[in-house]
Amino acid sequence: MNELVRVTRVGKSFTLHNQGGVCLPVLGGVSFSVAAGESLVLHGPSGAGKSTLLRLLYGNYKCSEGKIEIFHQDRWVDIVSADPRDVLDVRRHTLSYVSQFLRVIPRVSALDIVKEPLVTRGMAPDMASKRAADMLARLNIPERLWSLAPATFSGGEQQRVNIARSFISVTPVMLLDEPTASLDAQNREVVISLIEEARKSGSALIGIFHDEQVRERASTRRIDIQSFTVAEAA
Amino acid sequence: MSDGLDLFRQSLQAASHPVLDVSGITRLYGERIGCADVNFRLWPGEVLGIVGESGSGKSTLLRCLAGLDQPTAGRVLLDDHGTMVDLHNLSEPQRRAVMRRALGIVHQNPRDGLRMDVSAGGNVGERLMDRGDRHYGKIRTSATEWLRRVEIDPARIDDLPRQFSGGMQQRLQIARVLVSEPRLVFMDEPTGGLDVSVQAKLLDLLRSLVRELNIAAVIVTHDLAVARLLTDRLMVMKDGAVIEQGLTDQVLDDPQHAYTQLLTSAVLS
A79-106 burial, b if ≥16 CB within 10 A, otherwise e? Answer: bbebebbebbbbbbbbbbbbbbebebbb
Residue of B211, B252, B254, B257 to mutate when probing chain A, most A C-beta within 10 A: B254
Residue of B261, B267, B269 to mutate when probing chain A, most A C-beta within 10 A: B261
Of A16, A18, A106, the CB nearest to B203: A106
The distance of A80 to chain B (nearest Cα, Å) reads 11
pLDDT digits (tens), chain B, 269 positions: 444 555 544 444 445 789 999 999 999 999 999 999 999 999 988 999 999 988 899 999 999 999 999 999 999 999 998 899 999 999 999 999 999 889 999 999 999 999 999 999 999 999 999 888 899 999 999 999 999 988 899 999 999 999 999 989 999 999 999 998 898 999 999 888 777 777 777 887 888 888 888 899 999 998 898 899 889 999 999 999 999 999 999 999 999 999 999 999 876 54
Residues paired with B241 in a beta bridge: B238
Query: Are the CB atoms for B213 and B181 separated by under 8 Å?
Result: yes
Q: Which of B53, B16, B5 is nearest to B236 (CA)?
A: B53
Note whether A20 contacts B: Cβ–Cβ < 8 A.
Answer: no
d(CA B3, CA A109): 23
Residues of B in contact with A171 (CB under 8 A): none
pLDDT digits (tens), chain A, 234 positions: 699 999 999 999 999 998 999 999 999 999 999 999 999 999 999 889 999 999 999 999 999 999 999 999 999 999 999 999 999 999 989 999 998 888 877 788 999 999 998 988 889 999 999 999 999 999 999 999 999 999 889 988 999 999 999 999 999 999 999 999 889 999 999 999 999 999 999 999 999 998 888 899 989 999 999 989 886 544
Q: What pLDDT was estimated at residue A234?
A: 40
Supply the DSSP symbol for B155.
Answer: G
Q: What is the mean pLDDT of chain B?
A: 89
* pTM of the predicted structure, to 2 decimals: 0.89
Q: What pLDDT was estimated at residue B2?
A: 43
Instruction: Give the ipTM of the model, two decimals please.
Output: 0.91
Query: Are the CB atoms for A10 and A68 separated by under 8 Å?
Result: yes
At residue B214, what are phi and psi to the nearest 5 degrees?
A: 50, 45
Q: What pLDDT was estimated at residue A1?
A: 67
